[in-house]
Amino acid sequence: MNVNRLRYFCAVAEELHFGKAAARLHMAQPPLSQQIRLLEEQLDLTLFERTTRKVSLTAAGRELYVEASRVLAEYDRFEQRVREVRSGTRGTLRIGFVDSASYDTMPRLLKAYRLRWPSVEYELRSMSSDEQIAALNQDKIDLGLSRTAGVHAGVHDALEALVLQREPLAVAVPADNPLAGQGSISLAELEGAMFIGFDRKVSPSLHRELVGKLKSRGIDYEPIIEATEYATILGLVASGQGVSLVPNSVRTLRPPNLTFLAIDDEDASIPLLLMTRSDESSPLVAQVRELANELFGGED
């Protein structure tokens, strides 16, 4: 079915005058009359009664005008949606994020994004860095906020990573721990500590990162308890069951009987990455990358 012919039909049905309908459509009257005849032939129906004095709709024409108007309204809505999706003003962003990004970086990024593109919707999924890699490769998410340094090193050629920031690590200790009175410590001072860590099965990359940092100081990083959320980890620390190396942003969670210590070592930091597929063509994702550069001064 030719959509333009439906538009011509509706214009004539509303004007009941071929000359006025042609003027409204910015076309000459003979081509308009020809298109109406072709539509009638295609449908095998007479849509208009034509006399030298007036034009009127047939019973079939009246019935089909209602349907044609509805079809054109739906088509116009579809075309508008296509334009919005193409321009990046509407659509859905599927975002995976590590737990620690939810306390500062992700809320800041989404708040700024919504101010510019308020019609875009979101699907947010808390995932480890390793889970994000799999989800990106399987097209289950569009972008990820990740801690996985291996992506940035080029291990996963199908993905690209933008470093949003290099976040300092902190040490969470119980308030009655002998270290709690210090303003800061070095990693070497954690020798002999009982660690509570993020579940290595869920995030093996983060586990390897911390193992490497402590091994260079002669310390074995082998958590006695592991959990999948920092709120749980900090609760365990506050109850006196150990200490934990955490991204600085989780200091916003401060349960009673817990103290955070800064770390003096220059390499005591962990990157936060914005991960996308290398072949990603979505304008929504391009907008996030552009905005992230503005907000965080990321560097590829």
Domain boundary among 45, 72, 87: 87
Mean pLDDT in the chain?
Answer: 89
pLDDT value, residue 258: 94
Whether 162 and 268 map to the same domain: the answer is yes
* Average pLDDT, integer, range 196-214: 91
Domain boundary among 87, 103, 136: 87
The answer to which of 123-127, 192-196, 218-222, 250-254 has the lowest mean pLDDT is 250-254
Whether 70 and 13 map to the same domain: the answer is yes
Whether 116 and 256 map to the same domain: the answer is yes
Distance CA 66, CA 209 (A): 65
Q: How many residues does the chain have?
A: 300
Whether 188 and 267 map to the same domain: the answer is yes
Q: Which pLDDT band, with edges at 50, 70 and 90, does 93 fall under?
A: very high
pLDDT value, residue 150: 52
Tokens in use for 208? 């390897």
Q: What is the DSSP track for 25-56?
A: TTS-HHHHHHHHHHHHHHHTS--EEE-SS-EE
Whether 179 and 283 map to the same domain: the answer is yes
Q: How far is CA 53 from the centre of its chain?
A: 61
The candidate with the shortest Cα–Cα distance to 21, out of 34, 38, 8, 31, is 8
pLDDT value, residue 155: 45
pLDDT value, residue 233: 95
76 pLDDT above the threshold of 70: yes
Distance CA 260, CA 147 (A): 21
293 pLDDT above the threshold of 70: yes
* Average pLDDT, integer, range 64-86: 86
Whether 225 and 143 map to the same domain: the answer is yes
Distance CA 145, CA 136 (A): 11
If residue 93 lies in a helix (H) or strand (E), which one and from where to where? strand 91-97
Q: What domain count does the chain have? A: 2
Whether 155 and 7 map to the same domain: the answer is no
Whether 137 and 78 map to the same domain: the answer is no
* pTM of full prediction above 0.75: no
CATH number of the domain bearing residue 36 = 1.10.10.10
55 pLDDT above the threshold of 50: yes
**Tens digits of residue pLDDT in 236-282:** 999 999 999 999 999 888 888 999 999 999 999 999 999 999 888 89
The candidate with the shortest Cα–Cα distance to 137, out of 123, 158, 116, is 158
Q: Which residues contact 138 (CB under 8 A, 6 or more apart)?
A: none
CATH number of the domain bearing residue 273 = 3.40.190.290
The answer to which of 2-16, 85-99, 194-208 has the lowest mean pLDDT is 85-99
Whether 251 and 228 map to the same domain: the answer is yes
Range of the domain at 35: 3-87
pLDDT value, residue 153: 40
**Tens digits of residue pLDDT in 140-174:** 999 999 987 554 444 456 888 899 999 999 999 99
pLDDT above 70 as % of the chain:
96
Domain boundary among 87, 109, 143: 87
* Average pLDDT, integer, range 45-64: 91
pLDDT value, residue 265: 93
**Tens digits of residue pLDDT in 167-198:** 999 999 999 998 888 889 999 999 999 999 99
Whether 100 and 35 map to the same domain: the answer is no
**Tens digits of residue pLDDT in 26-41:** 999 999 999 999 999 9
For 81, 97, 150, 214, the CA distances from 189, given in Å and listed in that order, are 59, 31, 27, 10
Whether 163 and 242 map to the same domain: the answer is yes
Whether 69 and 119 map to the same domain: the answer is no
Tokens in use for 44? 């095998």
pLDDT value, residue 252: 86
The candidate with the shortest Cα–Cα distance to 240, out of 193, 200, 185, is 193
